[in-house]
């Protein structure tokens, strides 16, 4: 009869814990995950979008966007993509979740409108446990200004910045309105000071519209 040693028992226990601690996140069609927990998710130019992520149990912050190559006709195509949306949720071990964008249209004209303000959600067993939209991801006038300026200058790290800001917000106590406005103003002033004269002129033109 084979002896069961303490080491073998511990090994089995550790293996079981590792298996239980995993979370599977399945990504629905036309969703491009751009950052998870402060880290950029890179996709190859000719590779399909990643559809499954294996994560540890716990709180996760996920940034994604609507991303679809729409076939208008046999020879005509249009690439539709939305702004990044950041969502956070607590994911339990040994469970499967779905990252979805509800009510995606199949009609081209409807899809163009949908790409302007889609909703990102995390579902578990058919029930939505967290949900965010592009209109909810920006709060306050100054944060909207800084986001628009970032888009105007073509900054490709917007997804990671949005993701990291969400993580920082989770880890910090709520701020009063005055404190939040001051931080937004400080960020805008820093952006202005670092901008070239050409960029400042673009900012002036944008604000005056």
Do the domain assignments include residue 8? no
For 135-164, write each residue's pLDDT tens digit. Answer: 443 444 444 444 544 444 444 477 888 888
Q: How many domains does the chain have?
A: 2
Instruction: Note whether 97 and 190 are same-domain residues.
Output: no
For 89-129, write each residue's pLDDT tens digit. Answer: 999 999 999 999 999 999 999 999 999 999 999 999 999 99
Do the domain assignments include residue 38? yes
In angstroms, rounded to a whole number, what is the distance separating the alpha carbons of residues 163 and 90? 15
Instruction: Note whether 41 and 133 are same-domain residues.
Output: yes
Do the domain assignments include residue 153? yes
Instruction: Note whether 199 and 143 are same-domain residues.
Output: no
Instruction: Note whether 72 and 149 are same-domain residues.
Output: yes
Instruction: Note whether 93 and 195 are same-domain residues.
Output: no
* Average pLDDT estimate for 55-72: 92
By three-state DSSP, how is residue 49 classified?
coil
For 37-63, write each residue's pLDDT tens digit. Answer: 999 998 877 678 899 999 999 999 999
Instruction: Note whether 143 and 164 are same-domain residues.
Output: yes
* Average pLDDT estimate for 199-209: 71
Instruction: Note whether 162 and 186 are same-domain residues.
Output: no
Instruction: Note whether 72 and 131 are same-domain residues.
Output: yes
- What is each CA distance from 206 to 137, 150, 168, in whole angstroms? 21, 12, 29
Q: How confident is the model at residue 9 (pLDDT cuts 50, 70, 90)?
A: very low
> In the chain, at which residue ranges do the beta strands (DSSP E only) sit?
22-27, 31-36, 39-40, 52-56, 58-71, 77-81, 85-91, 96-100, 119-124, 127-133
Instruction: Note whether 154 and 143 are same-domain residues.
Output: yes
In angstroms, rounded to a whole number, what is the distance separating the alpha carbons of residues 121 and 104? 12
Would the pTM count as exceeding 0.85?
A: no
Instruction: Note whether 116 and 148 are same-domain residues.
Output: yes
Q: How confident is the model at residue 208 (pLDDT cuts 50, 70, 90)?
A: low
Q: How confident is the model at residue 4 (pLDDT cuts 50, 70, 90)?
A: low
Instruction: Note whether 166 and 191 are same-domain residues.
Output: no
Do the domain assignments include residue 13? no
- Is residue 119 within 8 A of residue 101, CB to CB? The reply is yes
Q: Which domain holds residue 194?
A: 178-208
By three-state DSSP, how is residue 10 classified?
helix
Instruction: Note whether 120 and 43 are same-domain residues.
Output: yes
């Amino acid at each position: 009869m084979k002896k069961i040693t303490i080491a073998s028992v511990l090994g089995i226990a550790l293996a079981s814990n590792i298996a239980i601690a995993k979370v599977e996140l399945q990504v629905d069609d036309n969703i491009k995950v751009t950052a998870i927990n402060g880290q950029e998710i890179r996709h190859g130019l000719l590779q399909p979008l990643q559809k499954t992520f294996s994560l540890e149990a716990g709180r996760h912050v996920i940034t994604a966007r609507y991303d679809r190559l729409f076939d208008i006709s046999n020879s005509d195509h249009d690439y539709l993509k939305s702004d990044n949306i950041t969502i956070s949720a607590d994911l339990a071990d040994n469970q499967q979740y779905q990252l979805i964008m509800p009510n995606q249209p199949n009609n081209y004209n409807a899809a163009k409108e949908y790409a302007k303000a889609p909703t990102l959600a995390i579902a578990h067993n058919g029930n939505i446990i967290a949900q965010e939209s592009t209109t909810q991801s920006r709060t306050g006038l100054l944060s909207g200004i800084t986001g628009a300026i970032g888009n105007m200058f073509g900054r490709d790290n917007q997804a990671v910045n949005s993701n990291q800001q969400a993580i920082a917000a989770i880890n910090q106590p709520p701020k009063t309105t005055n404190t939040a406005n001051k931080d937004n103003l400080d960020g805008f002033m820093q952006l202005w000071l670092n901008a070239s004269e050409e960029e400042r002129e673009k900012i002036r033109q944008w604000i005056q519209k």
